[in-house]
Amino acid sequence: MYAKNIWLDADQAKEKEIHDFGEGYKAFLSYGKTERLVVEEAVRMAEEEGFKPLSSYQELKPGDKVYATNKGKNFLAAVIGKRSLEEGSRILGAH
């Protein structure tokens, strides 16, 4: 299986989108010199996208966008799904 080379079919708009994403990623890496700064930036970005602290909820409903931090060193974000956990979940982890 071979990955398709995006540059062969990318028009100018797609190339700009790719470069803009790369610039944003470089800025994120430059700012996030420590785990605490990465968590701080992740919280800012999550709130920009409508996420709210998990601690601000008494009850969760489908579609809620929540986040939590642990001692300023770990960050978790979730979108509450419509089905029960018994039916499965999707988890993405990174370090």
Contact 65, 51 (CB under 8 A): yes
Each residue's pLDDT tens digit, 49-74: 999 999 999 999 999 999 999 999 99
pLDDT band, residue 91 (cuts 50/70/90): confident
Q: What is the pTM of this model?
A: 0.78
Q: In the chain, what are the domain boundaries?
A: 35-83
pLDDT band, residue 14 (cuts 50/70/90): very high
pLDDT value, residue 16: 97
pLDDT band, residue 85 (cuts 50/70/90): confident
Closest by alpha carbon to 68, among 43, 49, 41?
A: 43
Other C-beta atoms closer than 10 Å to the C-beta of 81 total 14
pLDDT value, residue 93: 81
Other C-beta atoms closer than 10 Å to the C-beta of 75 total 19
Under 8 Å CB-to-CB from 81, ≥6 apart: which residues? 62, 89
